[in-house]
Amino acid sequence: MVPNVLTRATRTFGRISQQSEVGLDLRVKKPLIVASLPIMSIDDLERVKHIRDADLIELRLDYLENPLSIDPRDLTQYRDRIIITIRETSEGGVNSVDGRRKAEYLERLYELGVLYDVEASFIERYSVPYRGKIVSAHYMDQIPPLEHLKTLLSRYASEALILKIALMASRGYRGTLARLLDMEYDNIAVMPLGSDPSVLMDRIALSLMGSRLLYGYVDKPTAPGQMHYREAIDIINCIMGKKL
């Protein structure tokens, strides 16, 4: 399966790179593979110990009926391997949570040195700390103007560990995401969202162009367009040893 995917990903890379000015130096940057794990109960934290091959493990706490029910101190034993995500429902999250309580929870994680993913829109409302964290923006309905996205990058990329932008796979998304990778920042992650099989190839291709994170699922996709994280590892390892 990997050789066929490799061929399609390479072709997609060529198609997208024509819409970008990304140079050869970025092609060889290996993305970090993130295994996304829905957390249904505190017992699911034990599964982190058995996912050893991913670079990072995203714990989606918004899958919990009460997304803030896990004591932040219980997460510190995994803090060198995890990303905590409590996704807003407006940006693809599952269960809603009170904004002020979420802000307090994230501030506690910040104090404990736990990596988390927080929406730029949430930062603007609650002023939570984001230095050294993942700042994200998910556009589920339409593609915003490129200048809006560039403003977002200039506002957050200098202090965030990674700035992540996800767009629904509608008209013009490939060119928009590719152009974001042309900017001078090297801590950008971009990804399309969609159920079409071509979206998987786009994610691989954009990773080859410098997108810093490649998400895959553990049990089931936590966002449209994800492949299994082990498949992502196999494909990236195969491609990185192949001259494009």
Domain 2-240 of CATH type 3.10.310.10? no
Tell me the per-residue pLDDT of 175-226, one tens digit each, with 9 for 90 and over.
999 999 998 899 999 999 998 888 999 999 999 999 999 999 999 999 999 9
Q: Which of 104, 102, 42 is nearest to 78 (CA)?
A: 42
Judge whether 176 and 143 are in contact, CB under 8 Å. Answer: yes
pTM above 0.95, yes or no: no
pLDDT digits (tens), the chain, 244 positions: 555 555 555 555 555 445 554 443 444 478 999 999 999 999 999 999 999 999 999 999 999 999 999 999 999 999 999 999 999 999 999 999 999 999 999 999 999 999 999 999 999 999 999 999 999 999 999 999 999 999 999 999 999 999 999 999 888 899 999 999 998 899 999 999 998 888 999 999 999 999 999 999 999 999 999 999 999 999 999 987 654 4
To which H or E segment does residue 117 belong? strand 116-119
Contacts by 149-157 with C-beta closer than 8 Å and gap 24+? 149/176, 149/180, 150/180, 150/183, 152/120, 153/180, 153/183, 153/185, 153/188, 155/120, 156/120, 156/123, 156/130, 157/185, 157/187, 157/188
The catalytic residue positions are 138, 164
pLDDT of residue 24: 34
